[in-house]
A = this chain, B = another copy of it.
């Protein structure tokens, strides 16, 4: 699959756009995403994997927690989407303040 197509497919979903909106302010852990999306934890992990495989997000492990963030290097297309999204502050998981 073309890289542009993969990136567009990865972002072309309501839930995954919400994940990106949550990460606009910084790192968020998986359990907080579950609270926001109101779908199962495995479903969230699968959606995060699609964004990661497309190179849009990065992960950081800290003990049993895993924090996801928007990648530092993103293409103009991803940049335009992120800029369009309004940040979602309901998931205020600032690095070490995971609510799990």
Does A2 belong to the interface (CB within 8 Å)?
A: yes
Nearest CB in chain B: distance from A96 CB, A? 32
- State the oligomeric state as a number of copies: 2
Chain A interface category by residue count: 20 to 34
- Residues of B contacting A9 with CB < 8 Å? 12
> Which chain B residue has the least Cβ–Cβ distance from A1?
B14
Q: How far apart sit A9 and B4, CA to CA, in the bound complex (Å)? A: 13
- Max count, chain B CB within 10 A of own CB: residue among A4, A5, A77: A77
Cα-based distance from A11 to B5 in the complex (angstroms): 8
Name A's B-contacting residues (CB within 8 A): 1-2, 4-5, 8-9, 11-14, 17, 75-77, 79-81, 83-85
